[in-house]
Amino acid sequence: MKPNKTRSRATGRVTLADVAALAKVSPITVSRALRGERAVASDLTDRVKTAALKLGYTPDPAARALASRHSDHVAVLIPMLSNNLFVDVLESIQKTLRHAGYQSLIGITHYDTREEEQLLREQLQHRPAGILVTGLDRSDAARELIEKSGIPCVHMMELAQSPDVNSVGFSQTQAAMTLTEHLLQRGRQRIAFAAAQLDPRTMQRLDGWRKALKAVKLYDKALSYTNKSPSSMALGGEMLQHIMANDPSIDAIFFCNDDLAQGALLAAQRLKIKVPQQLAIAGFNDLTGSDLIGPGLTTIRTPRAAIGEAAAKMLLNLMREEDVPTPSVDVGYELMVRGST
């Protein structure tokens, strides 16, 4: 047992060997005792843990990654942080993962499948222990990268059909139907759908709106307004103005996201459009401010924190090679009726 060899390249950091020397066991026993990987006699385990604590030992993530072929990183791919939605998802992911000893490696895709693919390639270099992605739509190459890596992956925000695909989310289509039906119950006849960004989930909401209107024979494709620009309050105001100028018969607008709807509400104030008397306005996601703006915005509350937490927990199960109760977790949604409808 050589004490403190002064090699030229030593990092000065406390190593497994140091703990082993103090505990008077072999390094591999320290490794096993600390990870709980294989049964180690309980008296040895105690000695090891005491020694590790005494020396303030923490394993080197790089060495561990190199030897085990898995880092303690989890790749997290989300479309955008400026959409507040994903901030909530991310915060609860980080919290859950950190607690379990994992580091989140965050990649912002900007709703671009090629950027997502590129990020995935970069992240995969780090041999992440797990992957968290947004939605089910992506490039074939990206799908293949995930598949071939053999690394566990959970999809967020939507619900997958196949039992081979792990997902945590809710039915975007169903939620949009619920909101549209609420507008119908309020007696609205000409219900427009206004969408920006046009990402897959937005299109699913459009689908829900269409289905609900078709069911009561009120669907008119001229009522659908779409804009590829990113969603924003400013754009919502512009869209409101455009829509009402284009078709004054419209008596309700369902915006695909709350920021658009909030911007529309502010624009309605300027344009002296009475909400909800003349026009009902609804949004989606229940973002910050939607309850404070005048009148309060009717919307669908989506459980972002719950999605992040459930997805992270499912991934934790998968990374530990434990069984997951179900590959598809539906966290639901809630209709929030306020003054704007």
Asked if 74 and 153 touch (Cβ cutoff 8 Å), the reply is no
Residue 7 binding DNA, by CB under 7 A = yes
Asked if 83 and 283 touch (Cβ cutoff 8 Å), the reply is no
Q: Which of 4, 8, 249, 277 binds DNA (CB under 7 A)?
A: 8
**Which of DNA, a second copy, none does residue 198 bind (CB under 5 to 8 Å by kind)?**
none
Q: Residue 316 CB, nearest distance to DNA (Å)?
A: 18
Indicate the SS3 state at residue 285.
Answer: strand
- Binding residues for DNA restricted to 41-100, rule: CB under 7 A: 41, 44, 57, 59-60, 63-64, 66-68
Residue 84 binding a second copy, by CB under 8 A = yes
- Binding residues for DNA restricted to 93-132, rule: CB under 7 A: none
Question: CB within 8 A of 225, min separation 6: which ones?
Answer: 192, 193, 194, 195, 239, 242, 243
Q: Residue 216 CB, nearest distance to a second copy (Å)?
A: 34
* Distance in angstroms (rounded) separating the CA atoms of residues 333 and 96: 22
Q: Residue 24 CB, nearest distance to a second copy (Å)?
A: 26
* Distance in angstroms (rounded) separating the CA atoms of residues 104 and 185: 44
Q: Identify the sign of the CA torsion 186, 192, 113, 104.
A: negative
Asked if 13 and 60 touch (Cβ cutoff 8 Å), the reply is yes
* Distance in angstroms (rounded) separating the CA atoms of residues 27 and 14: 13
Q: How far is CA 97 from CA 78, 93, 101, 103, 326, in A?
A: 16, 6, 6, 7, 20
Sheet of 130-134, strand order = 103-108, 73-78, 130-134, 153-157, 166-169, 328-330
Listed ranges 25-33, 98-106, 193-201, 329-337: which one lies at the site for a second copy (CB under 8 A) = 98-106
Residue 94 binding a second copy, by CB under 8 A = yes
Q: Which is nearer to DNA, 46 or 112 (CB)?
A: 46
Q: Which is nearer to a second copy, 115 or 330 (CB)?
A: 115
**Which of a second copy, DNA, none does residue 234 bind (CB under 5 to 8 Å by kind)?**
a second copy
**Which of DNA, a second copy, none does residue 216 bind (CB under 5 to 8 Å by kind)?**
none
Q: Which is nearer to DNA, 59 or 303 (CB)?
A: 59
Copy the structure tokens of residue 31: 């490794």
**Which of DNA, a second copy, none does residue 203 bind (CB under 5 to 8 Å by kind)?**
none
Asked if 333 and 158 touch (Cβ cutoff 8 Å), the reply is no
* Distance in angstroms (rounded) separating the CA atoms of residues 44 and 61: 24
* Distance in angstroms (rounded) separating the CA atoms of residues 129 and 61: 12
Residue 321 binding DNA, by CB under 7 A = no
The CA angle 189-193-194, to the nearest 5 degrees, is 140
- Binding residues for a second copy restricted to 276-295, rule: CB under 8 A: 288-289, 291-294
Residue 108 binding a second copy, by CB under 8 A = yes
Residue 91 binding a second copy, by CB under 8 A = yes
Residue 237 binding a second copy, by CB under 8 A = yes
- Binding residues for a second copy restricted to 306-335, rule: CB under 8 A: none
Asked if 205 and 173 touch (Cβ cutoff 8 Å), the reply is yes
**Which of DNA, a second copy, none does residue 228 bind (CB under 5 to 8 Å by kind)?**
none
Residue 172 binding a second copy, by CB under 8 A = no
Return residues touching DNA (CB under 7 A).
7-11, 13-17, 25-29, 31-32, 35, 37-41, 44, 57, 59-60, 63-64, 66-68
Return residues touching a second copy (CB under 8 A).
11, 58, 60-63, 65-66, 69, 71, 81-82, 84, 87-88, 90-91, 94, 98, 103-106, 108, 122, 125-127, 232-234, 237, 259, 262-263, 266-267, 269-270, 288-289, 291-294
